[in-house]
Chain A
């Protein structure tokens, strides 16, 4: 167990729907990162939050949004889902706002299937 908790582990939903993925970072970590992993795109960085504030943005679609709450857990909201959004979504955490010393700790991911 890495200490990063993601729920749910699996999610199946229809096109056009909206889902929320949840992440609890490792105890003591202030940064949360979201990554999307698909077969042909590898691990793509979506967004980072540090202590409740957005810190960096990657290839995140406008249909996607995220937030980090005062207790440091984070949620990734995916709306108007398309078949191409089917992927593994990983949350990772780190103590600081940069990947120094052991990089990020990853959760076990949420597998999203859009049908």
Chain B
């Protein structure tokens, strides 16, 4: 499928490295945050979420960190694999609002 990441910031890593993808969000009232993964030709896929009453949450090989003071979110992927190559989006929402997506970061993993 056609890439959606032609104008996106790109992070290139080697297989086995740890990856860190960052996101700055804009709305200080946002209280729910999600990281999505989008592979070429597919829709965004849920990876991990975090609420504003937490600053860290871990999943399988992924960790999300939330810094509300500077409105910053990061996604850490441990032991990055070629299958992790995709565009990663952060998304935020307030209590009664819909999800607002960031611009996205393309992750390229070399074998």
Contact indicator B101/A43 (Cβ below 8 Å): yes
Contact indicator B4/A108 (Cβ below 8 Å): no
Bound together, the chains give a CA A16 to CA B46 distance in angstroms of 36
* Highest count of chain B CB atoms <10 Å: which of A99, A102, A108: A99
**B88 at the A interface (CB under 8 A):** no
Contact indicator B96/A99 (Cβ below 8 Å): no
Interface size on A, residues (CB 8 A): 29
A62 to B: closest C-beta gap in Å: 20
- A1-38 CB mask vs B (1 if < 8 Å, else 0) is 01010000000000000000000000000000101010
Interface on B for A, CB 8 Å cutoff? Answer: 1-2, 4, 6-7, 32, 34, 36, 41-46, 49, 89, 91, 93, 95-104
Selected A-B contacts with CB under 8 Å, 25 pairs:
A2-B43, A2-B45, A37-B4, A39-B4, A39-B6, A40-B7, A42-B101, A43-B89, A43-B104, A45-B98, A45-B100, A56-B97, A58-B98, A90-B44, A92-B43, A98-B97, A99-B32, A99-B99, A103-B36, A103-B46, A104-B46, A104-B99, A106-B44, A106-B45, A108-B42
Interface on A for B, CB 8 Å cutoff? Answer: 2, 4, 33, 35, 37, 39-40, 42-43, 45, 48, 56, 58, 88, 90, 92, 98-109, 111
